[in-house]
Amino acid sequence: MDIFIEKIIKRQKKFLDFLIIGGAIALAVLIAVFLFLNAFILFILFTPGLIFLIYYIITLRNIEYEYAVTNGDLDIDIIINQSKRKRLFSASCKEFEAVARVDSPQYTQKIKNCKNVKDYSSRKEGSEVWFAFTKQEGKDLVILFEPSKKMIDNFTIYIPRKVHRDI
């Protein structure tokens, strides 16, 4: 029997997201004012394009992650503005060297110092973030995500010695 579990989480906007949105709006306003004062015809032609560009940049910051576990295989997709989907990560849990909470003793210095960290978590304070430590293309990789209890149970079936539930 196939086991399929999925979970969707919404990424919380951080300061950088608001900085990008605010910078884009400020730049569009400056361009619109410049065109209004110097070339009114260009202002009329380019204003709808500027408005659409601002809308597009704002919607690009609406990000969700979908975790899908199928018989021990983890797939992580990014969903932008609830319309565009792209696969970010895919691996069998059998390739994981360790799976545990970020606040557990298994989150060793080696894992903390890994240069290749992919954060697919919601970034919300108080959320239960787990890590999966693996190798991809010969390099260490740390995946940060927020799996459900059923996902962890499924990983435990396939890699019981590598899943650490204790804190």
**Residue range 102-108: mean pLDDT, rounded:** 89
- Reduce the DSSP state of residue 126 to 3 states and report it: coil
pLDDT at 1: 67
- Across 21-29, average pLDDT: 95
Q: How far apart are CA 144 and CA 120, in angstroms?
A: 6
Contact 74, 90 (CB under 8 A): yes
pLDDT at 119: 95
Looking at residue 93, the DSSP 8-state letter turns out to be G
DSSP secondary structure letter of residue 74: E
Give the pLDDT mean for 11-22.
94
| CA atoms within a 13 Å half-sphere pointing along the CA-CB vector of 55 | 6
Predicted TM-score (pTM) of this structure: 0.86
Count of C-beta atoms within a 10 Å radius of residue 1: 3
**Mean pLDDT computed over 72-85:** 95
pLDDT number for residue 167: 57
Confidence of residue 3 (pLDDT cuts 50, 70, 90): confident
